Amino acid sequence: MAPNAVVLHVSTAMAHLPYVPGYAAYQVSKLAAVRVFEHFGVENREKGVRVVHYHPGLYRTEVGKMTEGLGMPFDEIDLAGAFAVWAASGEADFLDGRFVWAAWDVDALKGMRGVLEGDRGLFTIGLVGFPGN
């Protein structure tokens, strides 16, 4: 792995949701992948490697269509790529180890830099309320 490499893990919002009938295997595999990449990132942090997990957006795919009744808007097709370019830049280095959504306001994320740097648990997946955390 090249020093200071950036790994962009394209995941899904489904990793955050409770059980969705018919999508259990998809959800669990995406959640497991988040954990694999989290461990990879921690193991390679000393080399300057950073990992950003992100939900690329909601698109009119077979999986995406299941959300039509939830009132969630579909995203523009170029959102995921544009977000990836920014997330890989040095400007987004504070997102290391975080799970973010491409549709979130980039300026608002940048405004949270100090908060995120002070709390390694924000925008991550884990057990909330574990003693000692």
Strand ranges of the sheet holding 99-101, from the earlier edge strand across to the other edge? 6-10, 50-55, 99-101
Active-site residue, from 19, 23, 29, 30: 30
Q: Which domain holds residue 18?
A: 6-118
* Distance, C-alpha 71 to centroid of its chain: 22
Instruction: Answer whether residue 47 is part of any domain.
Output: yes
pTM: 0.87
26 catalytic residue (yes or no): yes
Active-site residue, from 19, 23, 26, 89: 26
The closest alpha carbon to 77, from 102, 112, 95, 106, belongs to: 102
Instruction: Answer whether residue 42 is part of any domain.
Output: yes
Residue 17: CATH number of its domain = 3.40.50.720
Instruction: Answer whether residue 73 is part of any domain.
Output: yes
Q: What percent of the chain shows pLDDT beyond 90? A: 64
30 catalytic residue (yes or no): yes
23 catalytic residue (yes or no): no
Instruction: Answer whether residue 125 is part of any domain.
Output: no
29-63: pLDDT as tens digits: 999 999 999 999 999 999 999 999 999 998 888 77
Report yes or no: 121 and 38 within 8 Å, Cβ to Cβ. no
pLDDT the model gives residue 131: 72
Instruction: Answer whether residue 133 is part of any domain.
Output: no
Instruction: Answer whether residue 126 is part of any domain.
Output: no
Q: CB count, 10 Å around CB of 133?
A: 8
Instruction: Answer whether residue 100 is part of any domain.
Output: yes
Domain count along the chain: 1
What is the chain's mean pLDDT, rounded? 90
Instruction: Answer whether residue 70 is part of any domain.
Output: yes
